[in-house]
Amino acid sequence: MTTLRKLQVEDLLAIKLAGDCQISPDGSRIAYIVQEIDKEKNEYKTSIWMAREGKEPIQFTGGTKDNSPRWSPDGRYLAFVTNRSGSNQIWLLPLEGGEARQLTRIKGGCGNPVWSPDSKYIAFTANLTDEGIAPEAKDDEEKDLYKKYTKDVKVITRILYKMDGVGYYTDKRSQVCAMPVDGGAPVQLTSGSFSHGEPSWTPDSAGVVFVANRLEDADYRPWHNDIWYVSREGGELNRLTPGDGALSAAKPSVSPDGTLVAFIGTDPRDDGYGLSRLYVLNRATGAVSPLSGGLDRPFGNECISDMAGPAGGSLTWSPDGQWIFAQVSDAGQVHLVKVNAASGDVVPVTGGDKAVHAYSLTPDCRRAALAYATPVSPSDIYLALLDQPLPESAMANCCAVLTGGGVVEIPVARPNAALLEQVDLPMPERFLFSAGEGCPQADGWIMKPAGFEPGVKYPTILEIHGGPMGMYGVGFFYEFQWLAAQGYAVVYSNPRGSQGYGYEFGQCIIADWGNKDYADVMAAIETAVERYDFVDSDRLGVAGGSYGGFMVNWIVGHNDRFKAAVTMRSVVNRWSAMGTSDTGYNRISQFGTENWWEEQNMAPYLKQSPLLHASKINTPLLIEHQEGDLRCPIEQGEQLYAALKLQKKPVKFVRYPGEFHGMSRTGKPWHRIHRLNMISEWFDEYLRK
């Protein structure tokens, strides 16, 4: 009998994340991305691997920044993106043998390759200035000293001039281009001071549909996107969606007969609190119709994880045009579904406790590649036999509406099996909770400590997710497993405001943070205290990031239930964040005011600012923040730290230079390790007494 060891913090450096899985046209092979950590260089590297049923996976490319594998429809080539030439360019690898050759050589780099159905062209996006396509070249050393030493100066003229995870915008825009694969020059299909993306071919290979916000005041309505069409030779752009702002479009996909365009749409008027739904556009009439069959769940992957594998997956039509395949998030799970293109009926394809983060289908839709996470594995690759369904089985003790589903799944790549099979990884238990009569039920999960012993009471940490329109679920969460390895029970939940429980469940907290959501997270932890005898009611901690950090700040400003708290990249002052957050100005409509700076308009923002309750905070608080955070700027953490330190309250401030908002997921590896150590050390100091 083998004794399992506890998870170590530096195991994070050994975990490989697999995803963006692409199945070959004949269904025999799956190309996928593996992301690994180079701990010596403190960076990530990606390569393309190949898997077959019954065979060991093999590494297929030797680069360290290879991604976006895409099969040609005729099966002759694998296109991929790599930086081998110094910038991201598209290369072609002949599958009959031979060396990879560079296809694009465009200054500024390019990506997002999409094959035309006839395998003769590739559409892609390139970051271009007004000069258009220029040849790839290394920048010459600047001789003019003034230009050399002032090129880092930012001169801002736009209201939308920065974006977290991207940085500060330059004069480049994402443009859609196309290029023949057997020779010929690339053609720039779009232009102007707008960003264009998500190209998808028409079935006759004659043109491309894509999404873009080409409004004159685009920066003032940043979440608006229309669907457009352009010929592969270029020319006039034809807007397909009405352009009235009622829907913002994404992921367009043209039906096999070319008459319809399926797309994911959101209503900008929901201010990010609505659902992403499936729609179809009739190209002849311009009519747009919802196609979600009354399903009150979002299309796409809303499951939050700090170990998310490379995403991937396009809306896919069955060859007869009867079905559209897509992802749906439902009560902590993410599944592949198919939607009837005539009736809108939604049929689950996959089932069980999993979070599908990437998928692709063969042209006949009889086989699929799936990449998904479970609570004890961050990303594995499966071959799914869609024509061999399993018997239906409803999920028990769960708020899911997509019950049933399930197809034969054959594991073809489990990159972390050898590591994770050595480690004691507790399996979370789902429970239901409610804040009281008239309040909806929602899902919570509890994770026992590693090495759990019956009859022992354990200190317990309540974790709160960000968004707020995110969703905890059945994916792998390293932070939770790390805390469990340190001897903590971990509780997490989906309070009102979360995705995966319907439109009203999310909408009800707009401009009302700290009310219904606060009641729910407190109900989650109190339900766990009451139901599980191993939870030590006198040794509770709370932690959360972004909006979850707001909720931590709100909780400790309103009660002393917790013995210690960790607030990460948090919201502290919603009034000041309106002018400092990357798209803060775009939240005005949520609060029903004309602006935020005039005295008569300040009250709604200050009402939801935990800073106003800093005098009532007695809980020892660790404040963690990233200095390059453009979503919740560092000034948020600074304000709370100054307020608590001035009162001589127990507080510590940890700042991570050179990091964006998503550091816990994609930041420098050793910063992520440091962060985990700081969290556990803080809780050890106050919950081990």
Catalytic residues: 546, 661
Q: Under a CB-based contact definition with an 8 Å cutoff, are residues 230 and 207 in contact? A: yes
The residue with tokens 């010596």 is 40
Yes or no: say if 422 and 4 are a contact pair by the CB < 8 Å rule: yes
* Calpha distance 176→199 (Å, rounded): 7
**From CA 466, how far away is CA 254, in angstroms rounded?**
34
SS (H, E, C) 594-660: CCCCCHHHCHHHHHCCHHHHHHHCCCCEEEEEECCCCCCCHHHHHHHHHHHHHCCCCEEEEEECCCC
298: Cα separation from own chain's centroid: 14
What angle do helix axes 547-556 and 516-531 make, rounded to 10 degrees? 80
Per the structure block, which two tokens stand in for 208?
């491309």
Q: How far apart are alpha carbons 254 and 479 in whole angstroms?
A: 41
CA 655, CA 634: separation in Å to the nearest integer? 8
How do beta strands 121-128 and 110-115 pair?
Answer: antiparallel
CB 346 within 8 A of CB 295: yes
Q: In this structure, what DSSP letter does residue 193 have?
A: S
- Spatial neighbors of 179 by CB under 8 A, at least 6 apart, are 103, 104, 121, 122, 124, 185, 186, 187
The sign of the torsion formed by the CA atoms of 511, 158, 268, 126 equals negative
Q: Which residues contact 679 (CB under 8 A, 6 or more apart)?
A: 479, 483, 543, 566, 622, 624
d(CA 285, CA 78): 37
Distance CA 356, CA 160 (A): 33
Pull the structure tokens for residue 498: 């979360």
CA 411 to centroid of chain Cα atoms:
24
Residues 570 and 578: their CA atoms lie apart, in Å, by: 14
